[in-house]
Amino acid sequence: MRRDVPLLIKALGIAGFGILYIPVMIMIIYSFNSSKLVAVWAGFSTKWYKELWTDDILLTALYKSLLIGVSSATISTVFGLLIAIAFVRFSVFKGRLILSLVASAPLVMPEAVTGLSMLLLFIAMEISFGWPSGRGVDTIMIAHATFGMCFAAVVIQTRLRDMDKYLEEAARDLGGRQPFVFLSITLPLILPSIIAAWLLSFTLSFDDLVIASFVSGPGSSTLPIVIFSKIRLGVSPEINAIATLMILTISILVLFGSILILKREDKK
């Protein structure tokens, strides 16, 4: 039995959700404002959305962000899975302490510090052996994969730890080879966490402004970098429209994902 929640707490809770949602909702409403002046409502219009498709700088940045997001999220998920296996399945190994340190430190490192230190390394490497020559999409990808894999590892680890270990052992006792057991038993069981890890690393990469700003070069501006420079010029209906599209896309994906996961958990 659960006791009723007092009305005062519900009111405070609703106020809290209000803080989380009202700014974005007002922004969404104003993205349909036909006036160029942000504060004046002059009628419903979708013209700012149409203008987005003619903005070449924005579309190039979107393409680069998607490219970096997909590739870095894939590297993050594979390496995150390896880290999770090492921690959950190998009880004792050399370097466990170091791995746990370097796999958790990026989670708490301020973005400005991570970005700055990576850039300094890339420059030192370029001077020493000519790689990477200049900074661009590849350096942003490496930087994003590096912190993404630590988040992916956390997500997959939780699931791998909860998984029934005897299923794997049974398959091995019945003569299954290690790679076969992993692909046919373990992987399907932890698949939801792998998808969640991929999505998390993708959104972390897609939303990242600070690290990308440090390790990007001329001509490799990602979407957040372009948006940030536009925001510095002031509020505009065009940014309202991009922001609305980005927030709605992610929200719908997360909504569907959470409903799927919660339904699965209810069945158990």
Return the residues of window 19-58 that contact another protein according to CB under 8 A: 19-24, 26-27, 30, 38-39
How big is the site for another protein, counted in residues (CB under 8 A)? 89
223 is written with which tokens? 């979407």
Stretch that binds another protein, among 46-54, 101-109, 162-170, 187-195 (CB under 8 A): 101-109
By beta-carbon proximity to another protein, the closer residue of 59 and 124 is 124
Q: How far is the CB of 123 from another protein (least distance, A)?
A: 5
Among the residue ranges 42-50, 53-61, 139-147, 166-174, the one whose residues contact another protein (CB under 8 A): 139-147
From the list 42-50, 129-137, 157-165, 209-217, the region that binds another protein by CB under 8 A is 209-217
- Pairwise CA distance, residues 177 & 152, whole Å: 26
Determine the 3-state secondary structure of 203 from DSSP: helix
Q: Closest separation between CB of residue 43 and another protein, Å?
A: 17
DSSP 8-state class, residue 212 = H
Asked if 92 interacts with another protein (CB under 8 A), we say no
Query: Shortest CA distance to 64 belongs to which of 252, 218, 188, 185?
Result: 218
Which residues, 238 to 267, sit near another protein by CB under 8 A? 239-240, 243, 246-247, 250-251, 254-255, 258-259, 262
Does residue 69 contact residue 140 with C-beta atoms inside 8 Å?
Answer: no
CA dist., res. 179 & res. 114, Å (int): 36
DSSP string, 56-114: HHHHHHHHHHHHHHHHHHHHHHHHHHHHHHHHHH-SS-TTHHHHHHHHHHHHHS-HHHH
Binding of residue 196 to another protein (CB under 8 A) = no
